[in-house]
Structure 1
Amino acid sequence: MTGAEKTGKSPRFYPAEDAKPSKPTYRVRQNPPKIRKSITPGTVLIILAGRFRGKRVVFLKALESGLLLVSGPYKINGVPLRRINQAYVIATSTKIDVSGADVSKIDDAYFGRANDAPKAEGEDEFFEGDAPKPAVVSDQRKADQKAVDDVLLKTIGATEMLEGYLAAHFSLSSSDKPHLMQF
């Protein structure tokens, strides 16, 4: 019984006749994104956007989020271990052996940021402004980068002219027709 039925008074609100009952809400589970067939571990990719656009990198593995784990290697072209969306890369036909690189411990959580830094409050926050914070790379990241790069550099050094290919910057001129090119 509702409150109006108990007291004998008529309710103050009458529901509209055309009101649809609310549907139960539940979470939709998304399927993991599919990686293009042309992108396999060891494939050399060309980055199309972002800070490292035009750089050639080596694909190491697909992460659970659907992003690609790539590395320059850092010593050759300055690209560290990074996650990149596959929409922003071109897969080339060049492949190298990356079976010796242990990237099993690197996942999406590896790239998360820690919120350990205390926030400034009041006047300190105001006068701090938008000053950029110096980016400090952890010793763990440096060690992981070195371990992956050592394996990649051995493989790259064994192949003739591959180091120069990875170091070269990719660009197109006005006369280039990218739809006719084979990468």
Structure 2
Amino acid sequence: MVGVRVLGITGPKKAAKAAPATGKSARYYPADDIPRPKHSRAKKHNAPKVRASITPGTVCILLSGRFRGKRVVCLKSLESGLLLVSGPYKVNGVPLRRVNQRYVIATSTKLDVSKVDVSKINDAYFARVESANKEGEEEFFANDAPKPAIVSDQRKADQKTVDAALMKVVESTPLLKNYLGSNFSLKKHDRPHKMVF
């Protein structure tokens, strides 16, 4: 009786159900290979929680990257969980950039950055723009000299507006400009775990 049922199977769904039950291969084969979408367990991840010590206006010390040892001002936390910081550029040469909070020491120095407008700056602002003229293989190997980074006029204008508002706050506080301009470093007998920043 079981064999009679298998002969009567028609259609892909019935064949797929009957195959494991009977142990026989399905008699229906699709004419084309239809790609099935793979089951994805990925879900939308929320942005990492920012430490309580890091708030807009907190002076932070960068621990890695090109500007390690520099003191910067945290302007806000972005949707990705990264921090938007600036030097300001006039004081220590650190432009508007994103920084992971793991590579930052938050100090007890805080500034009032409520008048600094950074509402337009988000994660998409820092997306890379691919150049229209891509170099070929010969040009790639021929030019060993590194090419200078080209900063757009929009970024330069945004940097100036942010720095102008930030410099008013910095210059109103005594010795803050010198503090932001100095680099952080550890000496031989310094104990960072006992330091109060």
CA distance in 2: counterparts of 1:27 and 1:74, whole angstroms: 39
Change (3 A) 1:142 1:24: closer
Task: Identify unmatched segments of 5+ residues in structure 1.
Answer: 13-22
What do you get for the CA RMSD once the two structures are aligned? 2.2
Higher relative contact order (CA 8 A, sep 6+): 1
1:108 paired residue number: 123
Q: One-letter code of the match for 1:178?
A: P
Deviation at 1:164, TM superposition (A): 0.4
Q: Across the two proteins, how many residue pairs are aligned to each other?
A: 168
2:160 paired residue number: 146
Q: One-letter code of the match for 2:56?
A: P
Deviation at 1:133, TM superposition (A): 2.2
CA distance in 2: counterparts of 1:157 and 1:95, whole angstroms: 14
1:87 paired residue number: 102
Q: TM-score, normalised by structure 1?
A: 0.84
2:68 paired residue number: 53
Deviation at 1:119, TM superposition (A): 1.6
Larger Rg: 2
CA distance in 2: counterparts of 1:65 and 1:111, whole angstroms: 12
Q: One-letter code of the match for 1:109?
A: A
Whether 1:127 and 2:149 are equivalent positions in the alignment is: no
Q: One-letter code of the match for 1:48?
A: L
What CA deviation, in whole Å up to 9, does each residue of 1:3-59 have, x standing for no partner? 9x9xxxx649xxxxxxxxxx9434322121100000000000000011000000000
Secondary structure at 2:121 match in 1: coil
Secondary structure at 1:154 match in 2: helix
Q: One-letter code of the match for 2:115?
A: G
Q: TM-score, normalised by structure 2?
A: 0.78
Change (3 A) 1:118 1:179: same
What CA deviation, in whole Å up to 9, does each residue of 1:128-167 have, x standing for no partner? 4x54222111111111001011111111111010000000
**Structure 1 vs Structure 2: percent identity of aligned residues?**
62
